[in-house]
Amino acid sequence: MRDEQIRGYGAAVLWALAVAAVYYGSAKLGLLQQLVGGQVTPLWPPTGVALAALLVFGPWIWPGIALGAFLVNVSIGPSLPAVLAIVAGNTLAPLLAYALLRRVGFREKLDRLRDVLALVFLGALAGMLVSATVGSSVLVLSGALEPSGFWPTWSVWWTGDAMGVLVVTPFLLVLRHARWPRDVPVHRWAEAAALLLCTVFAALLATGTSSSRLLFLVFPFLIWAAFRFQLAGAAPCALLVSTLAIHAAALEVGPFAGQDLFANMVTLQAFNGSTALTALLVASVITERNETHEEIKRVCARLEDIVDQIEPRLDPREWPPKSDGNN
């Protein structure tokens, strides 16, 4: 029994270290597109990683999240006390989001509309208030940020963390349940490849042209992905489109050229939020509809079996039944 416990603890430590490594790696990728103070980005992938880890492993994985947050912030934070405060906020935020989601019966498959709405309002918008408030306050109190910059930084921090949940968490949950499809017709593979190429082309065209009106070119392809492939297609496409849009905003090209930081942030986050919500909501509605249709088919089949069992086994030629002569 003791050996089994040791192996269990060893596996838990390895999983926590793996989460910390993924958290750290995704943070470094996110910081490549920083827009405020070298620390705040419009898409913070680690929040999505942290919430996905909590949903998959449970709350015991929080040391891995805290370790990853510490390793990221210790190299960019103003001081050790400030770093520890930011780490606390970055750990508590996904824990709060996890607790809120579990309280409402959230399902990881995101196959119901209520699950998507819970992820948006409880996991992203409500849960990430903690990390944005703590982090922005620490930067001001430590002198790394002017007091006048609190609200701009807070808004970017909050929306960046929220976008990490909306874009990265569904993608990771899809990867967790992904299985290599078998007996898939060739035309389905061709459709998936065509969807990917068209989405990339539309996103590059939309983010490479100065007119912001062309940003709406990507939405038909997000709907296509959601209708035909549900969350397995919608989540990767939303992540791809958001990443290309953030890259364009960081370079200040396309619709993000010649504007100040606030205008670019409004345009970018409105676009990213719309793409994520469109992809997730349509995918959940289609999945829920398909499951309802399959459940109706199963109920009809059961009813047919029941009717077959109770139906009188009479020869139609003997209907109505013959009288026994006593009436």
pLDDT digits (tens, 9 = 90+) for 231-290: 999 999 999 999 999 888 888 888 888 877 778 888 888 899 999 999 999 999 999 999
According to the model, what pLDDT value does residue 98 have? Answer: 97
pLDDT by residue (tens digit) across 41-70? 788 999 999 999 999 999 999 999 999 999
Who's near 122: CB < 8 A, 6+ residues apart? 97, 100, 101, 104
pLDDT by residue (tens digit) across 75-123? 887 789 999 999 999 999 999 999 999 999 999 989 899 999 999 999 9
Whether the predicted pLDDT of 38 surpasses 90: no
According to the model, what pLDDT value does residue 318 have? Answer: 54
Q: What residue type is assigned to position 143 of the chain?
A: G
CA–CA separation, 73 and 86 (whole Å): 8
According to the model, what pLDDT value does residue 130 have? Answer: 96
Q: Please, what is the angle between helix 261-310 and helix 150-163, to 10°? A: 30
Q: Which band of pLDDT confidence, cut at 50, 70 and 90, is reported for residue 35?
A: low
CA–CA separation, 252 and 258 (whole Å): 7
**Sign of the CA dihedral 268, 237, 200, 221?**
negative
- CATH architecture, range 1-178: Orthogonal Bundle (1.10)
- Structural domain boundaries of the chain? 1-178, 182-309
According to the model, what pLDDT value does residue 19 have? Answer: 96
Average pLDDT over the chain, rounded to an integer: 87
pTM as predicted = 0.87
Contact 218, 202 (CB under 8 A): yes
Whether the predicted pLDDT of 326 surpasses 70: no
The DSSP code sequence of 17-57 is HHHHHHHHHHHHHHHTT--BTTTB-S--HHHHHHHHHHHHH
According to the model, what pLDDT value does residue 310 have? Answer: 77
In 3D space, the residue among 129, 1, 115, 23 whose CA is nearest the CA of residue 68 turns out to be: 23
Percent of the chain topping pLDDT 90:
57
pLDDT by residue (tens digit) across 158-175? 988 999 999 999 999 999
